[in-house]
Amino acid sequence: MEPFIYDLSRPGRRGVDMPDPDVPLTPLPAEYLRDDLPLPEIGEPEVVRHYVRLSQRNYAVDKGFYPLGSCTMKYNPKINERMARLPGFALLHPLQDPATVQGAMQLMYELQQMLAEIAGFAAVSLQPAAGAHGELSGVLIMRAAQVARGQGHRHKILVPDSAHGTNPASTTMSGLTVIEIPSGADGNVDLEALKAQLDDQVVGLMITNPSTLGLFEQHIVEICRVVHEAGGFVYGDGANLNAIMGITRPGDLGIDVLHFNLHKTFSTPHGGGGPGSGPVGVSAELADFLPGPIVAQNAEGEYVWTMPARSIGRVKAFHGNFGMFVRAYTYIRMHGAEGLRRVSEDAVLNANYIQALLKQRGDYPIPHGDRFCMHELVAQGRIAGAEGVHTLDIAKRLIDYGFHPPTIYFPLIVPEALMIEPTETETKETLDAFVDALTAIAQEARTNPELLHTAPHTAPVRRLDEVRAARQPILARVPVGGR
């Protein structure tokens, strides 16, 4: 195993030499100073080797197939990284005079416009830092718009039971009440159950389309219509936008507000957990409520900061995760309209190809396998003849075959779920090899289930004791005298 960073420390070592002051010294105020600064002391070579060795204990898109459903782990173009590091972008202070940052503001303005065009909205704010942050913004926008209509008493947000956990969590943070709507047997939202909840207390509906079951909601236009009739708004969770670029536009379907995930659909890297970027697009009626400031263009053609008239306020310091804007802008410019449609077509083609192969081989039930899926499919780790084997075992065994496992046990409404999202950047050979691995694992499950129960066998560590981690949490190790 790799040593803990402090174990590499030896008194007197230095990782960086800083220059001596080039100004006269000013005495330090003794009563303000800390006794000790318990940071490590390590030379630069050892720091680099430590982190390189740690990196080698990671799986990543740059190493192989990463079909983590709902996360859109597509390949991240390297030109994106180079562009984001241009000094004219990376070395800009966010509070500089707008006259000195017109290029950056133009990039933001054009990205706002392009995202609005792709999803069919009147306006976009780039400020939210991640999908959940965009969701919180979106729910607050719906709430504020209801207040502006004199409907401030409304408090219900309807959320299908297949939704990401962030939907109900964002609702609660907004001070509103979550009402769960069941899914029907066909994978669509249960329309009658939805209608039964539509009253004068409804702020809006949050819907993920394509849904987390990987299905396009067949009644989406009808759903938007009935919610609007009840005085509610429809929030679209844009997590699955990768399936529908150039295929359809959420705004055209009746969605009022939607967040984009630049780190999913628009290829900005996931960074081992972040940063992401979660811009919000809205219909004309909601444009005044967007978080801001956003970029506008004045009569002279200059780019200026503007705060929407009835903004919910700012959701973040400064203007959003600009470095992600540069990457997403680069990606969209390289694709154009046809390229983005090709992205979505191939993402959906790849998922359906995996679904078709899995159906042919018959090892893994696919609850909605009678329908074409969108960019992802949900199978089940219920292998006939291997009843003691669970989805977790299958996932861990996939690691031994060199793949990142799919998302598991989500959506919650599908028992033993394996949520597989291949993305468009994978070759047919990779998809074939992945399905072959699943087939081989199903065979192993029947003949040698222990192999699965004890998997992975080739990873840097064996299965980890998560119960112990939670029962007696050790969240930090600081040298004695550190506090």
Looking at the Cβ atoms of 63 and 385, the one nearer to another protein is: 63
Asked whether the CA dihedral 199, 204, 210, 214 is positive or negative, the reply is negative
- Per-residue b or e along 267-285, where b marks 16 or more CB atoms closer than 10 Å to that residue's CB: bbbbeeeeebbbbbbbbee
Structural element, H or E, at residue 142:
helix 131-148
Angle between helix axes 102-119 and 322-361 (nearest 10 degrees) is: 30
Binding mask 265-304 for another protein (x = CB under 8 A): --x-xxxxxxxxxx------------x-------------
Looking at the Cβ atoms of 4 and 229, the one nearer to another protein is: 4
Binding mask 384-423 for another protein (x = CB under 8 A): -----------xx--x----xx-x--x-------------
Subset of 123-152 contacting another protein (CB under 8 A): 129-133, 135-136, 140, 143-144
Subset of 305-344 contacting another protein (CB under 8 A): 312-324, 326, 329-330, 332-343
Subset of 459-478 contacting another protein (CB under 8 A): 459-466, 468-470, 473-478
Binding residues for another protein, total number by CB under 8 A: 208
Subset of 30-59 contacting another protein (CB under 8 A): 31-34, 37-42, 44, 47-48, 50-52, 54-59
Under the phi-then-psi rule, with left for phi > 0, alpha for psi from -120 to 50, and beta for the rest, what region is 349? alpha
Looking at the Cβ atoms of 447 and 454, the one nearer to another protein is: 454
**Long-range CB contact pairs, 169-177, < 8 A, 24+:** 169/132, 170/132, 170/135, 170/136, 170/138, 170/139, 171/139, 171/206, 173/136, 173/139, 174/136, 174/139, 174/140, 174/143, 175/143, 176/139, 176/143, 176/203
For residue 447, the minimal CB distance to another protein (Å) is 22
Of 193, 226, 349, 433, the one binding another protein by CB under 8 A = 349
Subset of 226-255 contacting another protein (CB under 8 A): 244-249, 252-253
The residue type at 145: A
Looking at the Cβ atoms of 287 and 431, the one nearer to another protein is: 431
Looking at the Cβ atoms of 193 and 349, the one nearer to another protein is: 349
Subset of 185-214 contacting another protein (CB under 8 A): none
Looking at the Cβ atoms of 250 and 365, the one nearer to another protein is: 250
Cα separation, 446 vs 226, in Å, equals: 49
Of 284, 361, 385, 427, the one binding another protein by CB under 8 A = 427
Q: How many CB atoms lie within 10 A of CB 336?
A: 11
Number of C-alpha atoms within 13 angstroms, CB side, residue 324?
Answer: 27
Binding mask 56-85 for another protein (x = CB under 8 A): xxxxxxxx--x-x--x-xxxxx-x-xxxxx
Looking at the Cβ atoms of 5 and 193, the one nearer to another protein is: 5
Subset of 154-173 contacting another protein (CB under 8 A): 164-166, 168-173
Subset of 353-372 contacting another protein (CB under 8 A): 353, 355-357, 360, 371-372
Of 182, 362, 385, 482, the one binding another protein by CB under 8 A = 482
Phi, psi of 437 (to 5 degrees): -65, -45
Of 123, 198, 213, 215, the one binding another protein by CB under 8 A = 215
The DSSP letter of residue 182 is -
Looking at the Cβ atoms of 85 and 385, the one nearer to another protein is: 85
Cis amide prior to 98 (ω within 30 degrees)? no
Candidates 23-31, 191-199, 229-237, 282-290: pick the segment binding another protein (CB under 8 A).
23-31
- Residue 474: name the closest of 35, 58, 4, 56 by CA: 4
Looking at the Cβ atoms of 239 and 383, the one nearer to another protein is: 239
Using the rule CB under 8 A, is 18 a contact of another protein?
yes
Q: For residue 9, give Cα distances in angstroms to 51, 57, 475, 477.
A: 14, 21, 20, 14
Cα separation, 470 vs 310, in Å, equals: 44
For residue 30, the minimal CB distance to another protein (Å) is 11
One DSSP character per residue, 412-438 reads TTSTTEEEE---TT--HHHHHHHHHHH
Q: For residue 416, give Cα distances in angstroms to 378, 395, 404, 411, 423.
A: 10, 11, 17, 9, 22
